[in-house]
Amino acid sequence: MNSIKFFPGFATTNAIWDGLALKTNVDSVIGWSMGCFDAVREKTDKLVLVSGTPKFIKDETFPHGLSKALFRNLERKIQADLDSGLRFFYDLVGINFSARFKKDEILESLDRLKKEDLRPLLPKIDVPVLLIHGDKDRICSVEASKYMAEVIPDARLVVFKGVGHAPFIEQPEKFKKIVEEFLAC
């Protein structure tokens, strides 16, 4: 049986995908944002990476990440008060999401975002990859997906104009059409 395995982003659950009924005739993996870190490690026939980045924080080796100052601000807000820190994050992302998380789980995820670097894995991906990114994304720069499109051997990038970090929420029908076309061929 062909299936789609979903990986949600930071401070979200698979409920973020609710309402996205996609059809596929191949085994597929879809990762969004931080979920891309897990998605690229899955064995699958086709891979969809949405609003992803191979390295979350900008530094001298990767100019396409989130600024260290914004990341530290997010981290401080979450350490001070989990609920208001998450509201700050959701406002940046442009989503209205509600789930209960433990503070230590969120801090572990933030620590992972500081350390994770997928760049060595990208040239080794041996399945077709669809990258989708909004050009108004304030969390993961569209430049990060452009970078991945250059280094993943069989990758195609689709940029959603006027869209932020969650194209599947902001333009669900367009998102669904593009993903299903990719999964069908």
Task: Show me where the domains of the chain are located.
Answer: 1-185
- pTM summary value: 0.96
The structural architecture, per CATH, of the domain 1-185 is 3-Layer(aba) Sandwich (3.40)
pLDDT at 153 over 50: yes
What's the whole-number mean pLDDT along residues 8-17?
94
Could you read off the pLDDT of 74-130 as tens digits, one per residue?
999 999 999 999 999 999 999 988 888 999 999 999 999 999 999 999 999 999 999
pLDDT at 4 over 50: yes
Cα(53)–Cα(144) distance, integer angstroms? 5
For residues 28 and 46, the answer to whether their CB atoms sit within 8 Å is yes
Q: Label residue 180 left, alpha or beta by phi (over 0 means left) and psi (-120 to 50 means alpha).
A: alpha
